[in-house]
């Protein structure tokens, strides 16, 4: 009899496959997922393939890596094993640097500690695109149908991706500027994979840095390792103790960032993407373009128009921005969910470089992030973005899904200037405010993104956006 565990569909979403350990993320399902990846890699390269295997610090990470190595080996694929927990962007960089045929990364990123997951990077170091993940899912189905493992043997090899990745960061960030400004930094890796990365680089370059949560905890302090406002109080305490000018944080696998200003104010990722875009154009002269997801602040749009830089707006999912980076079409690309990367860097979210570039920006401009944001508002106008999630009953979801297919002419008394269907439904109004709806593909949840030109109007627009779902 086939068990439930072996018939559960494994779906790779915008950032791979994630599930709760012991429920769907079982040894049996991990073997299926890795087997599907192995079959896909083998179909792309008949012999001599090499795949990097890495992890974040989560529970059983080492065990899952060993299982993956054994399975890859049985398909004749050489596993390049990383011994220590490693940032996702460092693994991405290692794929490119070592000309690997891909990477399997055991991580659930910013999800709660009971989760684990698998991210698969293709030979370009980028997150696998839908055409690749669909092929992997088809290979998993072939395994379920009884496909035979070839039974080949390839010896595993050790790989340390840290030195070349750290060298890349030294090239990408101006540490001399940070040091000369006398900047004091506080860093929170949230018990995650960036321990010994951001802080080590700063110290090596003579910058004063204080670190919190600098040890492995597979429970991540009993909450999600997400560098969001409400989880950064320990960082704020350390900032006050050391009189830090800036606080930087990374999530469990260090692909996301969280930034705290000198007065303890959390700068939402929307603003960080916009600030760094403005900085890179003005200081480095990078004018080749800017990328952002459809759900990310239109402050970026306004800055692109101001600087006369081409704007690329993508569906949600960093893999689309990664494609633009690979093609050198953008100076920076980012998402409101705290992912960004820059020109000539990895086509993967990098929370480490985001924090370090913010340090450089504050040091060079000699102004706090809050001051710099106000200057942006003076330059192109103010923007106040927000994201909310709401759970839906089956009845409400069915009714709302039908509504999403319609062409609304007005919205709560607002004239609609443009309807965008790049990802979900985005309604842009004549005053520059907007609302965007995206249904989750894995749970009965609608994500509502709103942005208004004043804080008062944001309150009204947010209420109207919610009402539109449930009316």
457's tokens = 């109007």
What's the pLDDT score for residue 3? 42
| Burial readout 28-58 (b: 16 or more C-beta within 10 A, e: otherwise) | ebbbbbbbbbbbbbbeeeeeebbbbbbbbbb
**Does a structural domain hold residue 228?**
yes
Confidence band, pLDDT 50/70/90 cuts, at residue 6: very low
- Beta-bridge partners for 182: none
Give the range of the structural domain holding residue 229, as residue numbers without chain letter. 173-380
Asked if residue 269 and residue 306 are part of one domain, the reply reads: yes
User: Residue 415 belongs to a domain with what CATH number?
Assistant: 3.30.310.50
Rounded mean pLDDT, 41-57: 95
What's the pLDDT score for residue 14? 66
Asked if residue 182 and residue 42 are part of one domain, the reply reads: no
Confidence band, pLDDT 50/70/90 cuts, at residue 318: very high
What's the pLDDT score for residue 109? 94
Asked if residue 272 and residue 184 are part of one domain, the reply reads: yes
411: which residues sit within 8 A by CB, 6+ positions away?
427, 429, 435, 464, 468
**CA–CA gap between residue 470 and residue 395 (Å, rounded):** 10
**CA–CA gap between residue 90 and residue 255 (Å, rounded):** 9
Asked if residue 295 and residue 179 are part of one domain, the reply reads: yes
Alpha-carbon distance values, 30 to 41, 293, 306, 351, 444 (Å): 16, 31, 48, 27, 25
Q: Is the pLDDT of residue 91 over 70?
A: yes
Q: Is the pLDDT of residue 2 over 50?
A: no
What's the pLDDT score for residue 386? 97
Rounded mean pLDDT, 104-129: 95
User: Residue 217 belongs to a domain with what CATH number?
Assistant: 3.40.120.10
451: which residues sit within 8 A by CB, 6+ positions away?
297, 298, 383, 384, 385, 386, 433, 434, 435, 458, 461
Residue at a domain's end among 380, 406, 431: 380
* 333-359 pLDDT, tens digit each: 999 999 999 999 999 999 999 999 999
The Cβ of residue 456 has, within 10 Å, a number of other Cβ atoms equal to 10
In residues, how long is the chain? 471
288's tokens = 């080749």
Contact 311, 301 (CB under 8 A): yes
* 184-222 pLDDT, tens digit each: 999 999 999 999 999 999 999 999 999 999 999 999 999
Alpha helices, DSSP H only, in 75-186? 88-97, 130-144, 162-172, 175-180
Question: Which range is least confidently modeled, 100-104, 188-192, 377-381, 411-415?
Answer: 411-415
**Does a structural domain hold residue 166?**
no
**Does a structural domain hold residue 187?**
yes
* 149-160 pLDDT, tens digit each: 998 999 999 999
Q: Smallest Cα–Cα separation from 255: which of 225, 277, 281, 235? A: 225
What 3-state class would DSSP assign to 210? strand
* 424-462 pLDDT, tens digit each: 999 999 999 999 999 987 678 999 999 999 999 999 999
* 282-291 pLDDT, tens digit each: 999 999 999 9
Q: Is the pLDDT of residue 397 over 70?
A: yes
């Amino acid at each position: 009899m086939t068990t439930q565990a072996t018939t559960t569909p494994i779906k790779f979403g915008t950032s791979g496959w994630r599930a709760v350990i012991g429920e769907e993320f079982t040894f049996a399902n991990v073997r299926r997922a890795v087997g599907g990846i192995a079959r896909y890699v083998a179909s792309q390269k008949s012999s001599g393939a090499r795949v990097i295997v890495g992890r974040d610090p989560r529970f059983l990470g080492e065990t899952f890596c060993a299982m993956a190595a054994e399975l890859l080996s049985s398909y004749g694929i050489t596993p390049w094993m990383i011994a220590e927990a490693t940032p996702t962007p460092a693994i991405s960089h290692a794929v490119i640097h070592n000309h690997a045929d891909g990477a399997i990364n055991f991580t659930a990123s910013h999800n709660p500690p009971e989760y684990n997951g698998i991210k698969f990077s293709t030979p370009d170091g980028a997150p696998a695109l839908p055409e690749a993940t669909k092929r992997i899912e088809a290979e998993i189905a072939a395994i379920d149908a009884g496909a035979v493992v070839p039974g080949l043997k390839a010896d595993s090899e050790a790989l340390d991706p840290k030195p070349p990745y750290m060298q890349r960061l030294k090239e990408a960030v101006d540490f001399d500027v940070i040091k000369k400004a006398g900047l004091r930094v506080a860093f929170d890796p949230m018990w995650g994979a960036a321990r010994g990365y951001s802080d080590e680089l700063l110290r090596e370059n003579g910058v004063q840095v204080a670190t919190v949560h600098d040890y492995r905890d597979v429970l991540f302090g009993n909450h999600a390792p997400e560098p969001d406002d409400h989880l950064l109080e320990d960082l704020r305490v350390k900032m006050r103790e050391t009189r830090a000018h800036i606080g930087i944080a990374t999530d469990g696998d260090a692909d996301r960032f969280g930034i705290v200003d000198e007065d303890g104010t959390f700068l939402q990722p929307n603003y960080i993407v916009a600030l760094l875009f403005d900085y890179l154009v003005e200081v480095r002269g990078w004018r080749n373009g800017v990328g952002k997801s459809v759900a990310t602040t239109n402050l970026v749009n306004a800055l692109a128009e101001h600087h006369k830089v081409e704007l690329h707006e993508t569906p949600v999912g960093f893999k689309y921005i990664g494609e633009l980076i690979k093609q050198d079409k953008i100076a920076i690309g980012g998402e409101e969910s705290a992912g960004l990367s820059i020109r000539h860097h990895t086509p993967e979210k990098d929370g480490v470089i985001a924090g370090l570039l913010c340090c450089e920006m504050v040091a060079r401009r000699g102004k706090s992030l809050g001051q710099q944001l106000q200057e942006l508002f003076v330059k192109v106008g103010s923007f106040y973005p927000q994201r909310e999630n709401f759970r839906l009953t089956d009845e409400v979801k069915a009714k709302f899904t039908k509504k999403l297919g319609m062409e609304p002419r007005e919205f709560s008394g607002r004239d609609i200037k443009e309807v965008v269907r790049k990802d979900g439904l985005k309604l842009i109004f004549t005053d520059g405010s907007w609302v965007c709806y995206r249904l989750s593909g894995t749970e009965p949840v609608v994500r509502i993104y709103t942005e208004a030109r004043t804080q008062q109007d944001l309150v009204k627009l947010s209420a109207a956006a919610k009402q539109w779902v449930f009316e």
